[in-house]
Amino acid sequence: MAYRSFEDLEVWKRSCKLAVEVYTVLKDCKEFGLRDQMTRLSISIPSNIAEGAERDTTKEYVRFLHIAKGSAAERRTQIYLAEKIGILPS
């Protein structure tokens, strides 16, 4: 299915929603380094999806999707660590 804008992409919508949730959950977190990294990654994911979608070639689009995927893996790792050290509930 073709799309007119990255804003039509379900993955972009869901990653934006998750970024807002991460900000909300971590707003009072005193672990500033982890909080900063997790919130920046959360913004990076939908931002890379959007940037890739606006590029002129499929190759560039795929490159930015890979970057977003890598950021998602990094964020999952940080969520796992935050749960283990008691910053986030399981």
The answer to whether residue 70 scores a pLDDT higher than 90 is yes
Q: How confident is the model at residue 2 (pLDDT cuts 50, 70, 90)?
A: low
In a domain, 22, yes or no: yes
Q: Over the stretch 6-26, which tens digit does the pLDDT of each residue have?
A: 999 999 999 999 999 999 999
In a domain, 28, yes or no: yes
In a domain, 77, yes or no: yes
In a domain, 90, yes or no: no
In a domain, 5, yes or no: no
What is the domain-level CATH number for residue 31? 1.20.1440.60
pTM given for the model: 0.88
Kindly write down the DSSP assignment for every residue of the chain, as one continuous string.
---SSGGG-HHHHHHHHHHHHHHHHHTT-S-HHHHHHHHHHHHHHHHHHHHHHTSSSHHHHHHHHHHHHHHHHHHHHHHHHHHHTTSS--
Report how many domains make up the chain: 1
The answer to whether residue 51 scores a pLDDT higher than 90 is yes
Domain that holds residue 53: 10-84
Q: How confident is the model at residue 87 (pLDDT cuts 50, 70, 90)?
A: confident
